[in-house]
Chains A and B, each alone.
Chain A
């Protein structure tokens, strides 16, 4: 078992309230929200409450919300669904460090003949604004950028992007890593993706918030649920779990992100104290998301550090996946110009509001111990 779980960007532990809400839904309120007798109508009402709750958190008074099976489906729906409702060949601009669920959807658009522009990102997580301007002046009709980068914590999508695009294209923001940990307002975007299991809710539930008037081609057709944009009986246990998790996050108060940032800085400080040669990959930590930091430990492969820490009950992840033939390094770090050798050293630590100071201090201490051991054994 984990003594320090610092991989909250992979998934989070479902909170007790979410588990309770799901259990209640599975055991008592299991009726189909589309049926017309009283218990069903009651479930329908609860689903509507969760929908409204989430819309309120992103100031989405003029928005619809479609529940999906998670972040991937919501991103697919936003990118494919929006472009498929437009006439002719479209120019689409995405950052080169998007999640695969956006990049793969864009690849499909390319195959269909659309013109996809990949906008580069600097080492500090700054979008290549000139390239974006070029795409917009070439008539880009959709811009898709993530709110928070999952590997580095870069803040990419938000008010600045909105001002820059200035109504020239639809904006989709993938908020899977940012929702509720970095404030968001739907006046900055036309579509916004969120996912339940990144914020102590269950897996298998997510949502796409869409400004009224934005037309989407459904990717699932059938019984016409979710305004016919996403057919299929609603995942009511998932929705109830998501609702409970969101409620709990909201109840933590508006200064929760600040407290999260303090924890992240404490972790960085703690690691720096025991490994002074560590490198923070990405932007200045105070200028990035409050819960993600990517750290390189010179001359120790991230994967080895991960397994060493795993042995001490500290769970983290790497930016790189090792293959038996060749080392594959993080596409995000590479896209941002981090040299391949340094990208190999990357370890991602991701926190949640539930992360304790004890976990942080323990993790930092173990990092120091393991680094001292591992740095002795380098490939010659």
Chain B
């Protein structure tokens, strides 16, 4: 008999022939997550188990943040003997009061009792032993789960995890990471769908300082936890901004700047092997995020641009930022890369046709080339 952590996975169930691959990735990710705590992780019979951990709460915390995990339960593993199981169940339920239900599950069909019989027998014994409990099979306060697999497992607590798809099963993309509230959330949302990513950050010294860079690195580190490390590309962007400021109409400055960012990001993304770009834009949030403006920025790249926050309100985005613990870092008052360059009255309904004419004063290719060539890559450890 020993304590284990029982890990349930969600959507991975739905994968047909690919399921073994997804499960292997998931199990490896859980192994990596618990490695610093020294747990043993294995996959068996549609559950992942963790045993031999020193600190249960820390293990739960880490495993429940692994994408693809639906929920976790601290459980007791024992031999498949109904008397032993009943005795453990009585022990586990001793401190509880209110209504409960026993849910039996039997994947080992050689076990002499079926799920219903198991539930009835265990329920009977628990009820006998604990007068503070009543049975409610419809809306119980506590659900005692008894699973008969290679071994028998019982658990009563179920802790919901992040869900999503195992990291690395969703392809590779490049995240435009600004240091604000939105972009780390956008990255998280797609990481949750299993996407592995690098981050691209634009720096504008002397308009931005070392603190702004440190802040972005802190945000990248938070995201890197989920992927076990992350590459951050730091792009020198001052030259582009100064050229745009000097040669383009003020009201189009931000939009042209965004177009340069997308061009440079696509170049870096290709080198990284990414198939898509990710941004934290939300429709209508600012002038450069109107539908017309997004059309103008998308027009300079061939890659798909994923905008997971497009339909979210700022408050909803802030809620997720709080949940993933990036909010406090995001609101640190460093930046702005460029209050000097922000036009007072940016265009909100730009016309795509005018863009080439406006940009004709700039040597677009050379500027992009220079920025890409000067880019510095830093690996952020989780």
Contact = CB atoms under 8 A, between A and B. Distances in A.
Contacts of B42: none
Given A378-B340, A379-B339, A379-B341, A307 B334 contact: no
B335 interface: yes
Most buried by B among A303, A306, A307, A370: A307
Interface in B207-235: 207-210
B250 A323 contact: no
A310 B336 contact: no
Interface residues on B, range: 20 to 34
Given A304-B207, A307-B205, A307-B208, A377 B336 contact: no
B245 A310 contact: no
B340 A324 contact: no
B333 A324 contact: yes
Interface string A315-346: 00000011111010000000000000000000
Most buried by B among A303, A321, A374, A379: A379
Nearest to A325: B333
Interface in A327-380: 327, 370, 374, 376-380
A308 B206 contact: yes
B242 A321 contact: no
A264 interface: no
Interface residues on A, range: 20 to 34
Given A310-B209, A311-B205, A377-B242, A304 B335 contact: no
B331 interface: yes
Interface in B173-232: 180, 205-210
B209 A307 contact: yes
A322 B340 contact: no
Contacts of B343: 380
A380 B205 CA distance: 20
B340 A304 contact: yes
A112 B209 CA distance: 40
Interface string B246-259: 10001000000000
Nearest to B331: A324
Nearest to A327: B339
Nearest to B333: A323
Interface in B53-73: none
A301 B242 CA distance: 16
Contacts of B246: 376-377
B334 A322 contact: yes
B205 A379 contact: no
B18 to A, nearest CB: 44
B207 to A, nearest CB: 6
Contacts of A377: 242, 245-246, 340-341
Contacts of A305: 206
Most buried by A among B206, B208, B250: B206
A129 to B, nearest CB: 37
Contacts of A376: 246
B206 A322 contact: no
A322 B245 contact: no
A112 B336 CA distance: 39
Interface in B138-177: none
B331 A301 contact: no
A192 to B, nearest CB: 34
Contact of A306 (B180, B209, B341): B209
A1 to B, nearest CB: 14
Given A308-B206, A377-B242, A301 B340 contact: yes
Interface in A274-314: 301, 303-311
Contacts of B207: 304, 307
Contacts of B250: 380
Interface in B294-349: 331-336, 339-344
A315 to B, nearest CB: 11
A374 B339 CA distance: 14
Contacts of A325: 333
Given A304-B340, A377-B242, A379-B340, A322 B333 contact: yes
A308 B204 CA distance: 11
A377 B342 CA distance: 12
Most buried by B among A303, A308, A310, A322: A322
B333 A307 contact: no
A281 B250 CA distance: 32
B182 to A, nearest CB: 13
B329 to A, nearest CB: 12
Interface in B227-277: 242, 245-246, 250
A327 B245 CA distance: 21
Contacts of A303: 209
B341 A307 contact: no
A301 B245 CA distance: 17
Given A377-B340, A380-B250, A324 B334 contact: yes
A374 B245 CA distance: 12
Contacts of B209: 303, 306-307, 310
Contacts of A310: 206, 209-210
Contacts of A321: 333
B336 A322 contact: yes
Contact of A324 (B210, B245, B335, B341): B335
A311 B208 CA distance: 11
A363 to B, nearest CB: 15
Most buried by B among A324, A377, A380: A324
Contacts of A370: 206
B249 to A, nearest CB: 10
Contacts of A324: 180, 331-336
A325 B208 CA distance: 15
Most buried by A among B180, B245, B344: B245
Contact of A307 (B180, B206, B242, B339): B206
Contacts of B332: 324
A304 B242 CA distance: 14
Contacts of B205: 307-308, 311
Contacts of B335: 322, 324
Contacts of A309: 206
Contacts of B334: 322, 324
28 contacts: A301-B339, A301-B340, A303-B209, A304-B206, A304-B340, A306-B209, A307-B205, A308-B206, A310-B206, A310-B209, A311-B206, A321-B333, A322-B334, A322-B339, A323-B333, A324-B180, A324-B331, A374-B206, A376-B246, A377-B245, A377-B246, A377-B341, A378-B340, A379-B340, A379-B341, A379-B342, A380-B250, A380-B343
Given A377-B246, A377-B340, A378-B340, 10 more contacts: A301-B340, A305-B206, A306-B206, A307-B206, A311-B205, A322-B333, A322-B335, A324-B335, A370-B206, A379-B341
Interface of B: 180, 205-210, 242, 245-246, 250, 331-336, 339-344
